[in-house]
Amino acid sequence: MRLILLGPPGAGKGTQSARLMQRFDIPQLSTGDMLRAAVKAQTPMGLQAQAIMSDGKLVSDEIVVGLIADRVEQPDCAKGFILDGFPRTVAQATALNTILHKKHMDIDAVIELRVDETALLARMEKRVQQTIAAGHPVRSDDNAEAFHSRMEAYREMTAPVSAFYADAGQLHVVDGMANIEEVSASIDAFLKEKIAA
């Protein structure tokens, strides 16, 4: 099962990814983790990325897609994988399609957790209160200002990715405002249909 999870910060992608990883015995591919691993392993892509990052620049789509191209051929991806947080732009989505097509692979499903921004902000504020009450440190980006700038970046860059997959007939939207169990059940029902088809 090859999946892409879309949704703004705080939509619950991490929670659903963890569950899907267990259910299908597939890895979640994080581009950040892949970059760090490639740099550490000193792979050709890693060396390229390291040079760019040490200049304080953003790693190009070409390198990130190249890392994914290498990563999906690892043995743990034989049954599939979950992309969470990638593709972030339509250019990345197009490049991903090209690279997977060359490998005779297809994305089985693109699932978007759609949420209400106002309710999402309230959810984030509640999480901060619970974290403080539990005596744990609060993430530096868990505040209204950071949330709004992350949402703005998401709307500008990543929201068009939803339209890209919708136009291709691949997008399945799930109500991300439902409780975790309901979101999981919606995803399960959709994937069950996919597998049966």
Query: Following DSSP, what letter does each residue of 18-36 receive, concatenated?
Result: HHHHHHHT--EE-HHHHHH
Higher pLDDT, 186 or 153: 186
Distance CA(4)–CA(81), nearest Å, equals 9
For residue range 96-107, list pLDDT tens digits in order.
999 999 999 999
The confidence score (pLDDT) of residue 175 equals 93
Which tokens is 3 given? 């999946």
Mean pLDDT of the chain: 87
pLDDT digits (tens, 9 = 90+) for 44-58: 888 888 888 777 777
CATH of the domain at 162: 3.40.50.300
Q: Are 18 and 88 in contact (CB under 8 A)?
A: no
Question: What is the structure's pLDDT at 141?
Answer: 64
* pLDDT over threshold 90, residue 170: yes
The number of folded domains in the chain is 1
Looking at the predicted structure, is the pLDDT value of residue 138 above 90? no
Kindly write down the DSSP assignment for every residue of 79-104, as one continuous string: T-EEEES---SHHHHHHHHHHHHHTT
Q: Please answer whether residues 107 and 3 qualify as being in contact, where contact means their C-beta atoms are separated by less than 8 angstroms.
A: yes
Mean pLDDT for 137-158 is: 76
Range of the domain at 87: 2-196
